[in-house]
Amino acid sequence: MEAETGTSSPTFAEREHAALAIKVPDGVPEVAPEKYEELVHYFKYASSCYILLCPRPCGNTLVTTFSNAMTDIQGFVARDKHRKEVIVAVRGSASLVDVILDAQALLVPLVSPGIKATSGARVHAGFLAAWDSVAVQVLAAVHLEKKLHPDFSIVTTGHSLGGSIALLAALSLKGSFPLTEVRTYSYGSPRTGNREFSKFVNDSFGPSAHRVVHGNDGVPTMIPSALGYHHHGVEYWQHSTPASHSTTVQCDPSGEDPKCSISVPSRGVNVAHTNYFGILVSTPFCL
């Protein structure tokens, strides 16, 4: 039997809350409850990618899985008949191979299926190699789905490395299906390309490109802007806990809002990177 001391050790949630008690400057608006629920919804797909097989992603139809043994990239394509969407979800880093891809930070020209990038757009060499390794599989699956469901929109989503790949996937899919609405959601993803690339993304998607950061998650700033990298917008920052629309703000569309997550020093891969909206990354939503 434990001795009574009159005090108790703080729980994990309490320690996290203390660590994420970040004061947000005035003038940064809270997200609407509907937008908050939307961000949580697509994170559940990104989280579900971390298991080998998700038979019913978020209760919807699994169309196919995709993977590449050389790059260790995996994910799935799902169909939501209620929202009329085809969803492409990509897993984040989960192996040494993924870490090696993360480290290939040379900026290279953006050449990939379906993408007609603006002059000067450069992206992370490892992230581009990762997307290109599965691009044919993903595009073929979505082409078939669009033939069967021409009125469905397309969504891409991913956490960490998966978020950067999901962004590149969205650009390929938008180029391949120019008349279809395409939206993309990333969670805790690093900077993916340079300023010209960021402008290309913002011009292509506007508010349909969602980039979510949790508290002091250091991965989004792990690749420094000093190397020529620049985030795309719009950033949604869950600055403190408990997770809710009132603790999540919508930053300006520049991608590098000084009032938001870049105001917090980078700590690399930390506790904040391993959970979003109070959901532990790799939690499956597959029934």
Domains of the chain are 19-280 (3.40.50.1820)
3-class SS at 108? strand
**Amino acid at position 86, single letter:** V
Active site residues: 160, 217, 273
Contact 252, 17 (CB under 8 A): no
Q: By C-alpha distance, which of 94, 105, 221, 206 is closest to 159?
A: 94
Q: What are the 10-residue block averages of pLDDT along the chain, 287 residues in total?
A: 39 46 73 98 98 96 96 96 98 75 87 95 96 98 98 98 97 98 97 97 96 95 94 94 94 92 86 95 96
Task: Give the global pTM.
Answer: 0.91
Q: What is the pLDDT of residue 124?
A: 96
Q: What is the pLDDT of residue 17?
A: 44
In this prediction, residue 102 carries a pLDDT of 72
**CA 29/CA 79 separation, integer angstroms:** 33
Structure tokens belonging to residue 152: 């469905």
Identify the helix (H) or strand (E) that includes residue 170: helix 161-176
> How many other CB atoms sit within 10 Å of the CB of residue 13?
11
Question: Does residue 215 contact residue 275 with C-beta atoms inside 8 Å?
Answer: no
Strand partners, 185: 157, 210
